[in-house]
Amino acid sequence: MGLAIINGLITSIILETIILLKQMDFFSSLKTAFGMSFISMIGMEIAMNLTDLLLTGGAMLTWWVVPIMLLAGFYTPLPYNYWRLKKYNISCH
């Protein structure tokens, strides 16, 4: 599970950095990718892996667990993300 969490974090940071490269230089985009969602990604990965562990008894990804894991991973970081948007007075739309 630790490997899954690390792979998810690395993949997300790489993709966000690539997307941000269109707007800023490499080091600024990498710093922004780390700062904007690192805590959310950790929370999401832990929630998804714990859901898998609790429902299957181990790290056994099965088809019926995937939708539940996705919901847990989506809803877990929402309070933190909402707080960050309010703190910095940023709107999503």
In a domain, 28, yes or no: yes
In a domain, 13, yes or no: yes
Identify the domain containing residue 46 by its residue range.
2-87
> Is pLDDT of 88 > 90?
no
As a whole number of angstroms, the distance between CA 89 and CA 69 comes to 30
Residue 8 has a pLDDT of 83
Name the domain count of the chain: 1
Tokens of 50: 């714990």
Torsion of CA 44, 25, 31, 27, to 10 degrees: 120
> Is pLDDT of 92 > 60?
no
User: Who has greater pLDDT, 88 or 28?
Assistant: 28
pLDDT in tens, 27-77: 988 988 887 778 888 899 899 989 999 999 887 878 999 999 999 999 998
pTM: 0.72
In a domain, 92, yes or no: no
